[in-house]
Amino acid sequence: MNTLFDKIWDAHVVQHVDGGPDQLYVDRLYCHEVTSPQAFDGLRDRGLRPLRPGRIFCMPDHNTPTHDQDKPIADPVSKAQVDALARNAAEFGLTHYGMMDPRNGIIHVVGPESGLSLPGMTIVCGDSHTSTHGAVGAVAFGIGTSEVEMVLASQCILQPKPRTMRIRIEGTPGPCVTAKDLALYLMQQLTTSGATGYFVEYAGSAVRGLSMEGRLTLCNLSIEMGARGGMVAPDEVTFAYLKDKEFAPKGADWDRALAFWRTLRSGEDAVFDKEYSFDAADIAPMITYGTNPGMGMPIDGTIPADASPKALQYMGFQSGERLLGKPVDYVFLGACTNGRIEDFRAFASVAKGRKKAPGVEAWLVPGSWEVQRQIVAEGLDQMLAEAGFAIRQPGCSACLAMNDDKIPSGKYCISTSNRNFEGRQGPGARTLLASPLVAAAAAVTGVISDPRTL
Amino acid sequence: MKQKFNILESTCVPLRQENIDTDQIIPARFLKATTRDERYFGENLFRDWRYRADGTPDPSFVLNDPHYGGDILVAGRNFGSGSSREHAAWALAGYGFKVVISSFFADIHKQNELNNFVLPVVVSEDFLQELFDTVAADPSARVRVDVPAQTVTSLATGRSEHFELNAYKKYCLLNALDDIDYLVLQQDKIESFEKSREHAL
């Protein structure tokens, strides 16, 4: 009761359906090419058109290659999907940022950085990592394709109201402990189903102390604990980030919005269905050893004795083993989890003055063209080039390997993405999730390394 | 697809594993289809467990075990975690499953199943383990799922449990209606809601 989540949700309820879910009004629908074509087909089959096209924004990201984006996509199946999105957006009058458009990128990177995602909004997309946008103080969650069709048709969605959870992290994180490590720690503590059925509000001084980029990373990974979404109450960090963004309100509208946004916080008397509290000092740089994101441990730890044998067999590891010093084949920096400017700064801070280890293949993929422009503006591309790293073109890339960025079977990849499921980065690929700092440490040493002791 | 759902009695396919994520149900490389061809997705259900790297069926995987079959999949807790891909629900439907029984479902996937007239039935962990044991001992053991009564019954042992299903979704399942049919009739309410918040963003 009286939580930030309740306030935003309740303000968007069009009606309570008898004996069922809430009919929730949606401020923003984002569409990417993978989960939308069947929804547009459905719309056509029913003879409908989008009710509020101005609230819908489309961009391809999953299939886009990370090189030669100015040329047609070589894979005909990927191309068909990307083309279908462009065609559907044109037919239905929706905003579409195609490949090579300066505003294209991963939808969960573009939304916040362009000011499309704003505090107090309801935001949905056919993608579980829609939880990312909660970092600006919005109620944002992933939906299925039938639900995309629902929102296209009615700008509403039928949803049972989730329960509320607050996770406080107090204190100051230690050296090299990033938002990614906080999230991997929470998953390890709560498991991948620990927050299923809940919408999470992150709070506490360690969360307040995160930059906007860090909060986006934290909220991004909410789904990996099973949560419907995650959010952080907007504050001065949020407002400074959003000011002057392309779609953020301007002038008097900004002042009016700001006054409203300042009211968006859980009341002192707020009651959550569940609360957890953690101490940031207990959190080390993390890495995963298994095949779901909850199978994580401190980078200098040993694989637990009760680790899943099936997962260890897939990964080629054994209980009781340390991961430090094990060779790495691939390093992936990017994804909606860690594809923002702060992540490239972190990676570059380790790579600076060092060289990429021979034998390591490193893919550095900005989350958007805007991030790419920031990388160049800050001279990070030069610094990384001197260390032997090239920057690729934006997209989801090796996070789920729908383009040609696939990790070969049996190879180890330190990845800043969000899922280490079997086959996620390509059939047989072995993924170890970690922060950009841990990824960079592996990239320059060729083995799993602790960035604190480099 | 849209079909009336009432009472179902069937043998079960037991998949005794926890935390089955949607990347396992349907790997990302099969998400490139732009049509909703359930048969295609069904053919690739659990693809990387069902087939070996050379494309031949892996006989140790339950879907390739001729002893087991039926309209009901019984799976370990936390079924459908991870990606929101509705293709996972299409794959289950395309393969022919009408019911999935587990002790716990991930949120988005559960909703996706319901939106595709595949019924997710949540049972107690104890009942789930008993079902696994029963089906392992006798693959011909049948389970009855009664939507009007909201009960699931193991016919071999007689044990029965009530399952949750909100009244709205139950009405949809019994009458083969979906959410879009409902929502497009609500346009007046949507427009008056929009007017009531014209001051908002």
Homologous superfamily of domain range A4-159: Aconitase, domain 3 (3.30.499.10)
In this chain, the answer to whether the domains covering A163-234+252-281 and A287-453 adopt an identical fold is no
- Give SS3 for A373: helix
In a domain, B164, yes or no: yes
Mean pLDDT of B29-41: 92
- DSSP E strands, chain B: 7-15, 72-75, 99-102, 119-122, 142-146, 151-154, 160-162
In the predicted structure, residue B200 carries a pLDDT above the cut 70: no
Torsion of CA A71, A73, A79, A83, to 10 degrees: -20
CA distances from A73 to A70, A78, A100, B127 (A): 9, 7, 12, 50
Beta bridge partners of residue A333, listed in sequence order: A364
The pLDDT, as a whole number, for residue A445 is 98
Task: Give, in words, the CATH class of A287-453.
Answer: alpha beta
Per-block mean pLDDT, blocks of 10 residues, chain A (454 long)? 96 94 98 97 97 98 96 95 98 98 98 98 98 98 97 97 98 98 98 96 98 98 97 98 98 96 97 98 98 98 97 98 98 98 98 97 98 98 98 97 95 98 96 98 98 96
Q: In chain A, positions 54-93, which contact chain B (CB-CB < 8 Å)?
A: 62-63, 77-78, 80-81, 84
**Which uninterrupted H or E stretch holds A182?**
helix A179-190
First and final CA of chain B: distance in angstroms?
37
CA distances from A188 to A192, A333, B132 (A): 8, 22, 28
In the predicted structure, residue B135 carries a pLDDT above the cut 60: yes
Q: What is the domain count for chain B?
A: 1
Structure tokens at A273: 């269905």
In the predicted structure, residue B198 carries a pLDDT above the cut 80: no
Do A419 and B77 lie within an 8 Å CB cutoff? no
Phi-psi region of B8 (alpha: psi -120 to 50; beta: other; left: phi over 0): beta
Residue A377: exposed, middle, or buried by beta-carbon count in 10 A (0-12, 13-18, 19+)?
exposed
In a domain, B193, yes or no: no
pTM for the full predicted model: 0.96
Q: What is the DSSP letter of A226?
A: T
The Cα–Cα gap between A418 and A228 comes to: 15
CATH number (3.20.20.10, 3.40.1060.10, 3.30.565.10, 3.40.640.10) of A163-234+252-281 reads 3.40.1060.10
Instruction: Pick from A73, A85, A147 the residue to mutate for testing the B interface (most B CBs within 10 Å).
Output: A147
Can you tell me the ipTM of this complex? 0.93
Do A20 and B167 lie within an 8 Å CB cutoff? yes
Domain that includes residue B64, residue range: 7-175
What DSSP string runs through A120-134? T-EEEESSGGGGGGG
In the predicted structure, residue B201 carries a pLDDT above the cut 80: no
CATH of the domain at B39: 3.20.19.10
Instruction: Pick from B15, B21, B29, B32 the residue to mutate for testing the A interface (most A CBs within 10 Å).
Output: B32
The pLDDT, as a whole number, for residue B199 is 60
Do B35 and A37 lie within an 8 Å CB cutoff? yes
Domain ranges of chain A: 4-159, 163-234+252-281, 287-453
Do A20 and B187 lie within an 8 Å CB cutoff? no
